[in-house]
Amino acid sequence: MTLKETGERAKKAKRALAKLTTDEKNSILRGCAKALNENSRDIIKANAIDLENGRSAGLKPSIIDRLILDEGRIAAMADSLEQIATLPDPVGEMLNMRTLPNGLIVGQKRVPMGVIGIIYEARPNVTSDAFGLCIKAGSAVILRGGKDAINSNIAIIKLFRDKIKALGFESDIVQLVEDTSRESSTEMMKMNGYIDVLIPRGGAGLIQSVVKNSTVPVIETGVGNCHIFVDESADIEKAVNITVNAKAQRPGVCNAAETLLVHRNIAEKFLPPVIKALREKNVEIRGDEAVKAIVNDVKDAVEDDWATEYLDYILAVKVVADVDEAIEHIAKYSTGHSECIVSESYSNTQKFLSEVDSAAVYANASTRFTDGNEFGFGAEIGISTQKLHARGPMGLKELTTTKYIIYGSGQVRG
């Protein structure tokens, strides 16, 4: 099937999906969640092929980790669909109804986007999450994953389409582009008239390629060059725990910390224990001269390190003079994703929260919480680092748009 045919099917299916009630959409989600649990062995078998291919291709361990599907992760995917089913349906919500002086009643109604295209990389759980969110938000979805997870994605989508058909609904509300060539990605970016909005989810190269080349409107999800700033008033134990979690709990994801900034007045007390704890998690430290003067065997940090999203067990570390220098550093190198201050100072905390311009700004908590599920939205489609039309974790409401509804009683314009 060509991409044009895929687009035509999605365009037809979106009208059928838009007519479904909340209960009908929830029945699809719960049915697909059950299918995941009942067919986990088939998915794991397909995933094993992707893992073998990935290891043969020399993929980094952090990327292999993102690729793995086991019983636990499949159960989590199913749980996510179940949770989405419990969330309030944003479609049909009426906003800002008001009566004008001429008697017209004007308001906005939340409606589906239509057809959402998603281009993403080696995370097969995204296949399930994206499907669930788009269906609940009333939009048909065309998924185009990367070659690293193609067998897993085919197995998951076949399962969903079979279940949707068995429930008596239109299975073309979800489709997978099985061609993982660069050409298929480029063609999706030009599918005006079929795809209403395109969402890239992956590394910097993928995201920038879509942003620069797409003629379809794009919601830009973010590269995560995330920062932790440890202020001079920080509680040492708290700061160590937050830093280690933000870097090492799962380094191959966009909300993992990539740079640690440390106030010079606390550096001698804080750096030895935090670097010791990080090294116990196999994290490589790349530091500036001030860091190297305090801790032995630290590799030199070069200019590129401050701007790099490693997605690996590597952390850049720099000593700064104060909160202002930390904020300036973040302003220069951050990708606008997630930043954290660890501080017991109210004034410094408020200054950081106010002046750091990122989608999620934390005080005394790990950046790993920047996630739709953790924020209570259910699964998310991605973390938007732009300011239109969404910012931060993109849940159900961010996958809808609005239209104006006007009630009249015969008014004509003079």
pLDDT band at 385 (very low <50, low <70, confident <90, very high): confident
Tell me the backbone φ, ψ of residue 307, rounded to 5 degrees. Answer: -110, 10
Tell me which of 396 and 382 has the higher pLDDT. 396
Check pLDDT > 90 for residue 376: no
Tell me the backbone φ, ψ of residue 392, rounded to 5 degrees. Answer: 85, -165
Check pLDDT > 90 for residue 222: no
Enumerate domains of the chain plus CATH numbers: 3-221+381-407 (3.40.605.10), 226-369 (3.40.309.10)
pLDDT band at 82 (very low <50, low <70, confident <90, very high): very high
CB burial string 203-225: b at 16+ within 10 A, e below: beebbebbeeebebebbbbbbbb
Q: What pLDDT, in 10s, does the model give residues 401-411?
A: 999 999 999 99
| C-beta of residue 42 within 8 angstroms of C-beta of residue 69 | no
pLDDT band at 1 (very low <50, low <70, confident <90, very high): confident
Residue 345 DSSP code: -
CA 115, CA 135: separation in Å to the nearest integer? 10
Check pLDDT > 70 for residue 378: no
H helices of 57-203, where? 61-67, 71-86, 124-136, 150-166, 182-188
For the question of whether the overall pTM of this predicted structure is more than 0.75, the answer is yes
Q: What pLDDT, in 10s, does the model give residues 118-140?
A: 999 878 999 999 999 999 999 99
Q: What pLDDT, in 10s, does the model give residues 257-288?
A: 999 999 999 999 999 999 999 999 999 999 99
Question: Any idea which of 204-208, 269-273, 319-323 has the lowest mean pLDDT?
Answer: 204-208
Tell me which of 375 and 92 has the higher pLDDT. 92
Check pLDDT > 80 for residue 377: no
138 contact partners, CB below 8 Å, separation of at least 6: 17, 18, 20, 25, 91, 111, 112, 400
Secondary structure element (H or E) that encloses residue 196, with its range: none
CA 148, CA 142: separation in Å to the nearest integer? 18
Residue 103, class by beta-carbon neighbours within 10 Å (0-12 exposed, 13-18 middle, 19+ buried)?
Answer: exposed
CA 155, CA 342: separation in Å to the nearest integer? 43
pLDDT band at 61 (very low <50, low <70, confident <90, very high): confident
